[in-house]
Amino acid sequence: MDMNQHEHVIEVTDLRRVYGGGFEAVRGITFSVDRGELFALLGTNGAGKTSTVELLEGLAPPAGGSARVLGHDPYEERSKVRPRIGVMLQEGGFPSELTVSETVRMWAGCTSGARPTGEALELVGLGRRSGVRVKQLSGGEKRRLDLALALLGRPDVLFLDEPTTGLDAEGRQETWELVRELRDGGTTVLLTTHYLAEAEELADRLAILHEGRIAASGTPAEVTASQPSRITFELPDNYFLGDLPPLAELGVTDHDTDGRTVRLRTHELQRTATRLLLWAERARVELRGLDVRSASLEEAFLRIAREAAGTSASSSGAEMATDAQGSRDGTKAGNAKAGKGTAA
Ligand SMILES: Nc1ncnc2c1ncn2[C@@H]1O[C@H](COP(=O)(O)OP(=O)(O)OP(=O)(O)O)[C@@H](O)[C@H]1O
């Protein structure tokens, strides 16, 4: 079957990954990514992002459930999937004595239909650094080289693991621009990142992982819409909180104060802001430091992670036993990266 006919380029169903010692790093997750879509996997440290992405790259078989990439099982049918995916790992690990262009040429030797070296380097803004030895590159330049190698084979699916770590603000913007162009050209992108602004900026859809499970998913707007907006201001001189209209009438769901600073949270930002400003107008007072803002993805993320942590703390005894096992084995501290490819 022609792979372009697959609506879901990536399809993950009830996927599980268990490491030696019985630690369940991925606990039954389901999501799909369409052609030309950019999907971000977010999560706290150790949430299971890399463990998931490695299964999709075919580096290990799942302990349960299934993964399909371009219609194939990435582990069992690696030879069909591998030539069509580009992988940018967290740590590329190139031979440091080679120059930038030698590195790309070496990689191109193992890549069918590779882009010309110059083109790959221009794409990531390393055109002028082609004669420099890899060991002389900055951290950000090494990330760009990583990206150039991932793009060499004009992949249909691109896995980007923390692509902008170490890049300065300009480098990050340039990488975002390139990733957007690739996506617009039909490349499907799976991104893991710790920069929530990056996910907010790039992702068509995202999932927030927590302890191996999906705690929330949707478009960035959908995920943030579940969180309250915030209005902050200073209480005018000689006024108290009780002098404001009743908070419930303003549509406020909860609030806190810090000295004279008042923070209101609401799911009806327009209504709350309008009523508050009308009150201030009538009372002829100035709300100093007024700040009105929708929830950011970062706030949504923190709240969802906190809620998920609360839920998992009170989850079943059997699951807690699994966690305890993982802790005893030292597997929960994210300290066993080197052996990841050898998962059970
Ligand atoms: N080879 C391994 N053996 C045992 N446990 C492992 C192994 N690799 C990872 N783990 C554990 O699996 C869990 C998930 O790790 P993973 O690296 O997938 O998380 P992550 O979301 O990518 O984290 P980070 O954001 O820190 O990169 C962690 O508790 C980690 O300690």
Answer yes or no: is 67 within a domain: yes
Give the pLDDT confidence of 3-58 residue by residue, as tens digits: 445 479 999 999 999 998 899 999 999 999 999 999 999 998 899 999 999 999 99
Answer yes or no: is 212 within a domain: yes
pLDDT for res 90 = 67
Pick the atom of ligand 1 nearest to 335's CA.
31
| Domain co-membership, 89 together with 13 | yes
Residue 216 belongs to a domain with what CATH number? Answer: 3.40.50.300
Answer yes or no: is 23 within a domain: yes
The response to whether residue 212 sits with its C-beta less than 6 Å from ligand 1 reads no
pLDDT for res 326 = 32
Residue 250 belongs to a domain with what CATH number? Answer: 3.30.70.980
The response to whether residue 171 sits with its C-beta less than 6 Å from ligand 1 reads no
| 10-residue stretch averages of pLDDT, the chain, 344 residues long | 64 96 95 96 91 95 96 95 87 78 89 89 91 88 89 94 86 89 93 90 95 94 88 94 93 94 95 96 95 90 83 44 30 31 29
Answer yes or no: is 215 within a domain: yes
Q: Which residue has the tokens 């990954």?
A: 17
Q: Which residues contact 271 (CB under 8 A, 6 or more apart)?
A: 250, 251
Pick the atom of ligand 1 nearest to 209's CA.
21
The response to whether residue 207 sits with its C-beta less than 6 Å from ligand 1 reads no
The response to whether residue 231 sits with its C-beta less than 6 Å from ligand 1 reads no
| Domain co-membership, 172 together with 70 | yes
| Domain co-membership, 280 together with 323 | no
Answer yes or no: is 169 within a domain: yes
Q: What angle do CA 209, 342, 57 make, to 5 degrees?
A: 55
Element (H, E) at 291: strand 291-293
| Domain co-membership, 195 together with 219 | yes
What is the pTM assigned to this prediction?
Answer: 0.79
pLDDT for res 91 = 65
| Domain co-membership, 17 together with 67 | yes
Domain hosting residue 242, numbered range? 228-293
Q: Which residues contact 55 (CB under 8 A, 6 or more apart)?
A: 15, 17, 26, 61, 62, 67, 74, 75
| Domain co-membership, 284 together with 321 | no
Q: Are 28 and 14 in contact (CB under 8 A)?
A: yes
Element (H, E) at 8: strand 8-19
| Domain co-membership, 70 together with 17 | yes
The response to whether residue 44 sits with its C-beta less than 6 Å from ligand 1 reads no
| Domain co-membership, 15 together with 77 | yes
User: What's the total number of domains in the chain?
Assistant: 2
| Domain co-membership, 22 together with 87 | yes
Answer yes or no: is 166 within a domain: yes
| Domain co-membership, 11 together with 64 | yes
Q: Are 114 and 153 in contact (CB under 8 A)?
A: yes
| Domain co-membership, 74 together with 164 | yes
| Domain co-membership, 274 together with 308 | no
DSSP 8-state class, residue 46: T
Q: Are 158 and 151 in contact (CB under 8 A)?
A: yes
Q: What angle do CA 155, 156, 158 make, to 5 degrees?
A: 65
